[in-house]
């Protein structure tokens, strides 16, 4: 019953053209931030980059910081920190759900 609509946020489905429209950034910028390891799009078998809505949010965040004069490597460590924290939260959450499911015999 817990359909996770929120998973749409993290699904990598957009090509760079749409991301460019959504963020207002140039393809050059989007690819450059990837090279600097600020985001990690998926790739299709043939090498086409695929982004999620959360990547788009992330890019807008990055763009703001760049404008403020923050350098990519600084943004990178901040984002890495945040990602780590989020990963921990996700695991904690996953375990909690497992517990609940085991208890109430639900499917997931």
Partner DNA sequence: CGTGTAAGGAATTCTGACACG
Return d(Cα 49, Cα 6) in angstroms, integer: 22
47 is in the binding site of which of DNA, its own copies, none (Cβ under 5 to 8 A by kind)? DNA
Nearest to 40 by CA among 85, 4, 76, 8: 76
Among 20, 50, 63, 78, binds its own copies (CB under 8 A): 50
CB proximity list for 59: less than 8 A, separation 6 or greater: 19, 23, 25, 30, 33, 39
Q: Does 14 bind its own copies (CB under 8 A)?
A: yes
Q: Does 9 bind its own copies (CB under 8 A)?
A: yes
Q: Does 66 bind DNA (CB under 7 A)?
A: yes
Among 1, 2, 4, 5, binds its own copies (CB under 8 A): 5
Q: Is residue 107 within a helix (H) or strand (E), and if so which, with residue range?
A: none
Residue with token string 């140039």: 26
CB proximity list for 44: less than 8 A, separation 6 or greater: 50
Window 13-42: contact mask with DNA (x via CB under 7 A): --xxxx-x-----xxxx-xxx--x------
Residues that bind its own copies (CB under 8 A): 5-6, 8-9, 11, 13-15, 17-18, 22, 44, 50, 53
């Amino acid at each position: 019953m817990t359909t996770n609509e929120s998973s749409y946020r993290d699904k990598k489905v957009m090509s760079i053209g749409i991301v460019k429209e959504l963020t207002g950034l140039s393809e050059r910028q989007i690819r450059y931030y990837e090279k600097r390891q600020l985001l990690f799009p998926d790739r299709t078998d043939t090498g086409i980059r695929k982004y999620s809505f959360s990547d788009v949010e992330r890019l807008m965040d990055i763009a703001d910081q760049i404008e403020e004069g923050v350098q990519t490597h600084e943004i990178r460590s901040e984002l890495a920190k945040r990602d780590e924290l989020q990963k921990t939260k996700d695991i904690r959450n996953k375990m909690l759900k497992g517990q609940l499911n085991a208890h109430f015999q639900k499917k997931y």
